[in-house]
């Protein structure tokens, strides 16, 4: 992402003080014919809905002599400065999910990819986010860290800094990817869509290691 | 949905006049370290990001004597009042995509479902939406129109009012579902995830019929 929207936060409802239509103070109430608290303007009647955001990225793969490497970025921004992530960020208006995956991979890792199918869909309801990762193939090795990355590099499964992964959704996606690869090589078959709901802090570790 | 967020609109960027943090007028500009126009407040420095929304629904199926019927709702609200749709609506904060599919099916069709895997992901970038539909099985036949539906009913493929379907994403999902069913019954195999990007008006027909 090239904007300062955070991929983590501790808000439950992003605060809103004033109506963006008429500048009158808003209040939290349940509108008529609704069943949830919304920011409502008693002056102009505007209801300001807030909805989950999509964070979209890719699993960019380079294969050489039968060995797979995945491109990871070391974060140059908070949250999780200095930790490793797959290239990903907030989907923008006017683009598709595929556009977003390609754009984020180019912005954060300077990498051009061929996009394959959706690989993971991970709900993170307490931060109002849904994370989507697409499988992808690197088109060349001319990658380079974008301004939001300290460095970018290719890692085999054994080389991945598992204790320094920025977000559970990234670790889940990477582990599922290599598990699928092993299964496909041993038994045949194909990749499948991996879905999971994550209810704990995005910054906490996934499980005891 | 039990709120008045529209599933269609003709805006390109939802207008914002005043800062929701400090009530100062905002202006459209490209923030530092960004590359897109955002609503920015010159008084307090707030940047007001706008991102795509997820519309989530289900394909609720009832099977009897080997014949499949799908539950459709006749819309009691705009847009597309009087047209038929699968139960769907805007995902809310604090829920998962599965929660949203079950909630919308209950709200719009009074129907309880067992949710299966994600069946379709459809980008509608010009209205800043991504539509997701899950396959589902109806748990009983005690369905009833919610306040946003004029009526609710079960339809075989031949009975579906194809010329009165509210949105292209619903038609694409229904046609893909019955095509998968035919293929599975003839050749075996399983359902797959269907993805498509839709660039024309949500209200236009899909193709010449």
Q: Do A47 and B193 touch (CB under 8 A)?
A: no
Where does B14-50 sit in CATH, by number?
2.20.70.10
Supply the pLDDT for residue A208.
37
Mean residue pLDDT across chain B? 91
- Listed as ranges, residues in chain A with pLDDT below 70 are 1-14, 201-209
Q: How does pLDDT run across A85-108, given as a tens digit for each residue?
A: 999 999 999 999 999 999 999 999
Confirm or reject contact between B191 and chain A (CB < 8 A).
Answer: no
What residues does each domain of chain A span? 14-50, 53-197
Same fold, B14-50 and B53-197: no
- The minimal CB distance from A20 to the residues B18, B54, B90 is found for B18
User: How far apart are the CA of A78 and the nearest CA of chain B, in angstroms?
Assistant: 15
A4 in contact with chain B, both atoms CB, cutoff 8 A: yes
DSSP string, B25-57: BEEEE--TT--S-EEEETTT--EE----EEEEE
pLDDT in the model for residue B186: 96
pLDDT at residue A13 in the model: 58
Interface contact B195, partner A, CB < 8 A: yes
Cis peptide before B79 (omega within 30 of 0): yes
- CA-angle at A36, arms to B125 and B118, nearest 5°: 45
* Chain A partners within 8 Å of B91 (Cβ): 51-52, 130
Relative to beta strand A129-138, strand A113-124 is antiparallel
**pLDDT tens for each residue of B169-187:** 999 999 999 999 999 999 9
A28 touching B, CB under 8 A? Answer: no
Instruction: Give residue B33's pLDDT band: very low, low, confident or very high (50, 70, 90).
Output: confident
Residue B6 has pLDDT above 50, yes or no: yes
Instruction: Kindly determine whether residue B17 and residue A22, on different chains, have CB atoms separated by under 8 Å.
Output: yes
- In angstroms and rounded to an integer, the radius of gyration of the C-alpha atoms of chain B is 19
Model confidence at B3: pLDDT above 80: no
Other beta carbons within 10 angstroms of residue A182's beta carbon come to 11
pLDDT tens, position by position, B104-147: 999 999 999 999 999 999 999 999 999 999 999 999 999 999 99
Is the CATH code 3.90.79.10 the one for domain B53-197?
Answer: yes
Question: Which residue of A52, A101, A107 to mutate against B (max B Cβ within 10 Å)?
Answer: A52
């Amino acid at each position: 992402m090239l904007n300062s929207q955070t991929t983590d936060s501790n808000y439950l409802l992003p605060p809103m003080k004033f109506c963006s239509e008429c500048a009158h103070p808003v209040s939290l109430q349940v509108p008529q014919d609704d069943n949830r608290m919304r920011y409502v303007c008693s002056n102009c009647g505007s209801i300001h809905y807030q909805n989950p955001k999509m964070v979209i990225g890719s699993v960019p793969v380079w294969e050489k002599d039968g060995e797979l490497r995945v491109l990871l970025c070391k974060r140059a921004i908070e949250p999780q400065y200095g930790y490793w992530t797959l290239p990903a960020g907030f989907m923008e208006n006017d683009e598709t999910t595929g556009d977003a995956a390609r754009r984020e991979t180019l912005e954060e890792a300077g990498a051009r990819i061929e996009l394959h199918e959706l690989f993971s869909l991970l709900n993170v309801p307490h931060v109002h986010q849904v994370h989507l990762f697409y499988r992808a193939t690197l088109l060349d090795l001319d990658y380079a860290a974008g301004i939001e990355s300290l460095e970018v590099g290719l890692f085999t499964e054994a080389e991945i800094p598992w204790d320094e992964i920025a977000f559970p959704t990234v670790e889940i996606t990477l582990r599922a990817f290599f598990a699928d690869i092993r299964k496909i090589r041993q038994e045949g078959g194909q990749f499948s869509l991996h879905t999971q709901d994550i209810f704990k802090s995005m910054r906490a570790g996934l499980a005891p290691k």
